[in-house]
Amino acid sequence: MAADVSRIALWCFAVFYIAFDSLAGVAAGLVASYASALPADQQHTLLPLIMDLNFSPIAIGITALGGLGWVTAVVAAAIALRQRGLARNPAILLGLSAIFALHTPPTGPLGLLFFALAAAWLEFAPQLRARSQPAAL
């Protein structure tokens, strides 16, 4: 069940984060395009508009749904790994990657580092164990 929850939550993360990034990018591009037509001394007046667009209740709601999806996905995946009897350390790293939901530095890069370490551990550790065990005769 934890694996199914993780898959559904990951879908929510992908949908809502893409929606937010698209909304923020298009809005900022439109404001910048409009600002480029203004005299240089007036262009700075539009900066608060970009901030207001990124921190509007709709944008915050979309971002919150994406962040909640990420946190739920990685925590549920860590639980699913432990239920299958896999090592505790990669599950802990995967759970720690939940801080990526706050994707600005330093938490975003640190969360991605935790995720990458967990993925590398899960991918390569079984192969390393297999190589270190003597072959059966």
Which mean pLDDT values do the consecutive 10-residue runs of the chain (137 residues) have?
96 93 88 89 87 87 94 95 88 93 88 95 72 55
Q: 46 near 29, Cβ under 8 Å? A: no
Q: Which amino acid is at 14?
A: A
pLDDT of residue 134: 57
Question: What are the residue ranges spanned by the domains of the chain?
Answer: 2-132
**All residues at 6 or more sequence positions from 12 whose CB lies less than 8 Å from its CB, including other chains:** 65, 66, 68, 69, 72, 73
Whether pTM > 0.75 for this model: the answer is yes
Residue where the block lists tokens 């551990």: 121
Describe the crossing of helices 57-83 and 2-36 by its angle, rounded to 10 degrees.
150
pLDDT of residue 52: 87
3-state secondary structure (DSSP) of residue 58:
helix
pLDDT of residue 2: 94
Terminal CA-CA length for the chain: 40
pLDDT of residue 131: 53
pLDDT of residue 70: 95
Q: 100 near 115, Cβ under 8 Å? A: yes
pLDDT of residue 127: 60
